[in-house]
Chain A
Amino acid sequence: MTGPGDATGLSAATGPGGSTGLTAAFTARRGAFTLDLALDVRPGRTLALLGPNGSGKSTTIGCLAGTIAIDAGAISVAGRVLDDDATHVEVADRRIGVVFQDYLLFPHLTVRDNVAFGPRAMGLGRAGSRDVADDLLRRFGVHDLADRRPAQLSGGQAQRVALARALAVSPDVLLLDEPLSALDVEVRDDVREELASHLEAFDGITIVVTHSLEDVVALARDVVVLERGAVTQSAPVRELVRSPATPYVERLVASWSDD
């Protein structure tokens, strides 16, 4: 079993210390739970954060997105410090987009206004924001739904809108929280494939948080395994599949290759 120290070792091997990417090495305590995490993602890359329930995935998202304060360590993106002993950049100023597990599309706004919300909040005018939204909705193939309310969308449609909304403000980092778990099993494979192609086109940093090895294999090149608040393996996806470091990953790989 490798520890967080080895994860840092890997990051040193794969990137130049995070001057252009995302570097996070921190500790966060929530009650009796302690999360110790070390991540390093290069621009244009997708990292998967794989872990079972209770492993600290949600805490990780909270810390990266800025809703949970870290207790020690640092988070920086493209050389800009978001968190350290002296700094805490507010959620609104972090430039980290999130696609939430249940999408959290604003129920009182149309699809178009959901996507235009970010640009407008950033100070772009009403017309300009609508243009940004219309462009993105067209690119994601959901422009015909622009005047609908989120409640009238299918799961796959809602996910595309959520992705468009998060990308509308061109974030440095895109966080996807269990992107496929809210979908029906029948459509999951199609949506996953489509999501992979959209992520391919995004040139920022992407982190996919998931408990599904299918998601990891389809969406990410590198993977960090999180168990009980600590990193147990940090490797390229192909290597993880070939040589799992813990029984948890072994089980996932075994049931995945059975399919």
Chain B
Amino acid sequence: MAPRRPRRAGFLAPALWIPAGIALALLALPLVALVVRAPWADLPQLLARGEVLQALALSLGTAAIATAVSLALGVPLALVLARSAEWSAVPRRLLRALVTVPLVLPPVVGGVALLLLLGRRGLVGERLDAWFGITIPFTTTAVVIAQVFVAMPFLVLAVEGAVRASDRRFEIAAATLGASRWTVFRRITLPLVAPGVSAGALLCFTRALGEFGATITFAGSFPGVTQTLPIATYLELQRDPDAAIALSLVLMIVSVAVLVSLRDRWVPGLTS
């Protein structure tokens, strides 16, 4: 007698295979086209060009700084967000909405909003300009701020998930041993959520690296100052499509590398 195959997934109507296949094709085929049409022979020479290296260096640098800033500010925010479960409904929901809005906001809108806050005529920017002579828009600092705005929520939500999943009683155990709140945070809370923090940092870095809309709106596109890899890619597409493809390939490889390194870490939905 043939052993019966375990049927775990339940019923799947055959008609669903068709839209599912189209969906998969829609997701995968563009990447296939990118790989197939890449000018592999000219690649080393395309990528060695000065402005390409400049854009790559600027992108990696700003994304790294944006990730560092997001870690320094976002981890504490994630802890507050996790603790807000004990708050009353209104402040709790407000806080969560504020953290989540940048995730759903079109990045261009984020860029416009940043201009209205930090631009020369902006709410805060006007004072910065008048009092300290500081102008932020169209500088490398603006690139980093735009990236933080767009990418930090990914880190915050990843870390918050890790904090909520961790056992708070370890912190109480540490406190009964005489540990101050700061010691508890440094030696217990943080190490216990470290996998969530590194997963969040990687997601944040990738998102910052790919940032386009908020950056070009708030920081513009000055080569070497604000022209990051995605912006350079877009501009090259009109001048030199082969160079644009080469740059796209670089961005894709970095993203896939991040996905692979995340596979075994704590990220809901990414582990299989």
Contact = CB atoms under 8 A, between A and B. Distances in A.
Contact of B183 (A96, A121, A169): A121
Contacts of B170: 104, 106-107
A100 B177 contact: no
27 contacts: A65-B176, A67-B172, A90-B175, A92-B176, A92-B178, A92-B181, A93-B178, A94-B176, A95-B178, A96-B176, A97-B176, A98-B173, A98-B176, A104-B167, A107-B170, A108-B194, A117-B174, A117-B177, A117-B187, A118-B179, A121-B177, A121-B180, A121-B183, A165-B177, A166-B177, A168-B177, A169-B178
Contacts of A218: none
B128 interface: no
A91 interface: yes
A107 B192 CA distance: 8
Interface residues of A, number: 24
B60 interface: no
Contacts of B188: 106
B173 A100 contact: yes
Contacts, number: 58
B223 interface: no
A231 to B, nearest CB: 24
A100 B178 contact: no
A99 B176 CA distance: 10
Contacts of B191: 108
Interface in B141-180: 167, 169-170, 172-180
A72 interface: no
B192 A118 contact: no
Interface of A: 65, 67, 90-98, 100, 104, 106-108, 117-118, 121-122, 165-166, 168-169
A119 to B, nearest CB: 9
Contacts of B175: 90-92
Nearest to A165: B177
Contacts of A168: 177
A91 B172 contact: yes
B194 to A, nearest CB: 8
Given A107-B192, A108-B191, A118 B177 contact: yes
| Interface class of chain B by DSSP | helix
Interface of B: 167, 169-170, 172-181, 183, 187-188, 191-192, 194
Given A92-B176, A121-B174, A121-B183, 14 more contacts: A65-B172, A90-B175, A92-B181, A93-B178, A104-B167, A104-B169, A104-B170, A107-B170, A117-B177, A118-B179, A121-B178, A122-B178, A165-B177, A168-B177
Nearest to A171: B176
Contacts of A121: 174, 177-180, 183, 187
A174 to B, nearest CB: 10
B92 to A, nearest CB: 20
A118 B172 contact: no
A117 B179 contact: yes
A97 B175 CA distance: 10
A82 to B, nearest CB: 13
A90 B179 CA distance: 11
B178 A118 contact: yes
A162 B69 CA distance: 38
A65 B191 CA distance: 24
Contacts of B181: 92
Contacts of B179: 92, 117-118, 121
A96 to B, nearest CB: 7
Contacts of B176: 65, 91-92, 94, 96-98, 166
B109 to A, nearest CB: 41
Nearest to A123: B178
A117 B188 CA distance: 10
Contacts of A165: 177
Nearest to A115: B177
A104 B188 CA distance: 12
